[in-house]
Amino acid sequence: MNIKELAKSLNDYAVKIRHELHACPEIAFDLPKTESIVIRELESFGINNIVKGIGGGHGLYADIKGGKPGQVLAIRSDMDALPVKEETGLDFASQNGNMHACGHDAHMAMLLTCAKILSEFKNDLAGTVRLIFQPSEEPANGAAVMVKDGVLKGVDKIIGMHTGNLWQGLKAGQIGWRIGAFMASTTTFDIALNGKGAHGATPHLAVDTITMAAQIINQLQTIISRELNPFDAKVLTIGRIDGGTAHNVVADFCRLRGMIRCFSAENSEFMKKRIVEIADCTAKSMRGSASVEFSSDVPPVINDRELTLKMRDVITEELGAEFAAEIETPTTGAEDFAEYTRTIPGAFFYHCSTFGDERDKPHHNSRFMVNEEFLWTGAAALAAFALHWQPGA
């Protein structure tokens, strides 16, 4: 079999499906149109054992059972878009106020192309491949719901892939691999500060939550700079402050909202503990009070060594060594793919789809675009891995 040439011949199919999905982006768990397109395509390949209605309603998975005995491998694609108004000017651009500004349309197109390849090589396939189409990756809660709904039942290993412009230095079509830490954890925190309001002319009668917030923000930055190993990457960001009603009134309430990112559970727990202590102690020292809530707590993506090296070897043998690229530095971007690897071993990979010119925009940008010429390399890597990842396959 020649996976590379077959995948190349199917690139036009991948582009066509990606255009259809791109034109009807849907948000979070509400993905009826997206789901119907995916199911239609799977059924056209003769894949009929589809389990739908999971993961909040529009998540689904389908199994391709091979002609040889073996283990079960899951391959995951996300499905949801973003509430971003598209400004690409493409003739298939979204008109509904949402946008596939993170490449999930390309992820679905590559996995569907992979499914088409595998359906043609079922007799050569060892074990079973489970194709997972997951909603709500952007809010970072879809994977956890899919796991709760049993998508990993009977699955031995899992892989996934993210396309776009995440790592600099790679060329379009290359597949980036890295052992161990690949993407960071992310946790959102919300600090509510309570004080006492008064006129700005009589600040001594007030308990100023704006001043409280300023002190807490400064103190929180010392967690990174003075309390944790500088060689362990981590991020703490305050992205939103809400407080006060007028320029001449001391605010009796203020809210800080931010996030932390790191690559170990230990650092994450330490940072959460210190955020609570700093907020509480600082507020009390200024005669106020604080409460802290954490949400969207997604673990880091840590790649299994064996699976990662196997993908490197498969890409080298099936596509060519020029398509396998080692990623030296992880990203502090996050991915809820990590929810799957809490349960079973897994590995995540990067598919570079840049242009090398002014068309390359960051993810979640209203002008984000994907170089469709190389969708075939992602599909080929996934299919080849599925066919060759097990010993003796």
pLDDT digits (tens, 9 = 90+) for 245-275: 999 999 999 999 999 999 999 999 999 999 9
Taking residues 2-27, what's their average pLDDT? 98
CATH number, domain with residue 45: 3.40.630.10
What span, in angstroms and rounded, lies between the C-alpha atoms of 82 and 101? 7
Whether the predicted pLDDT of 212 surpasses 90: yes
Say which residue the tokens 């002190």 belong to: 215
Residue 229 CB burial class (10 angstroms; 0-12, 13-18, ≥19):
exposed
Does residue 266 form part of some domain? yes
**Collapsed DSSP state (helix, strand, coil) of residue 185:** coil
What span, in angstroms and rounded, lies between the C-alpha atoms of 196 and 190? 20
Of the residues 298, 322, 354, the one at which a domain ends: 298
Does residue 120 form part of some domain? yes
The model's pLDDT over 27-75, given as tens digits with 9 standing for 90+, comes to 999 999 999 999 999 999 999 899 999 999 899 999 999 999 999 999 9
Does residue 393 form part of some domain? no
Higher pLDDT: 26 or 1? It is 26
Cβ–Cβ < 8 Å for 333, 327: no
pLDDT at 168: 87
pLDDT at 393: 66
What span, in angstroms and rounded, lies between the C-alpha atoms of 284 and 282? 5
Q: Which helix (H) or strand (E) holds 164?
A: strand 157-164
The model's pLDDT over 132-175, given as tens digits with 9 standing for 90+, comes to 999 999 998 999 999 999 999 999 999 999 999 999 899 999 99
**174 & 252 share domain:** no
Does residue 313 form part of some domain? yes
pLDDT at 299: 94
Q: Compute the Cα dihedral for 149, 150, 151, 157 and give only its sign.
A: positive
**Average pLDDT of the chain, as a whole number:** 97
**346 & 213 share domain:** no
Full domain range(s) for residue 72: 3-180+299-388
The model's pLDDT over 283-341, given as tens digits with 9 standing for 90+, comes to 999 999 999 999 989 999 999 999 999 999 999 999 999 999 999 999 999 999 999 99
**133 & 194 share domain:** no
What span, in angstroms and rounded, lies between the C-alpha atoms of 38 and 30? 14
**20 & 150 share domain:** yes
What span, in angstroms and rounded, lies between the C-alpha atoms of 82 and 103? 10
Q: Which residues of 100-134 are buried (b: 16+ CB within 10 A; e: fewer)?
A: bbbbbbbbbbbbbbbbbbbbebeeebbbbbbbbbb
Band (pLDDT 50/70/90 cuts) for residue 95 is very high
Cβ neighbours for 266, distance < 8 A, ≥ 6 positions apart: none
Band (pLDDT 50/70/90 cuts) for residue 391 is confident
Number of domains the chain contains: 2
**303 & 165 share domain:** yes
Q: How far is CA 92 from CA 84, 88, 105, in A?
A: 15, 10, 12
DSSP state of 170: P
What span, in angstroms and rounded, lies between the C-alpha atoms of 348 and 385? 13
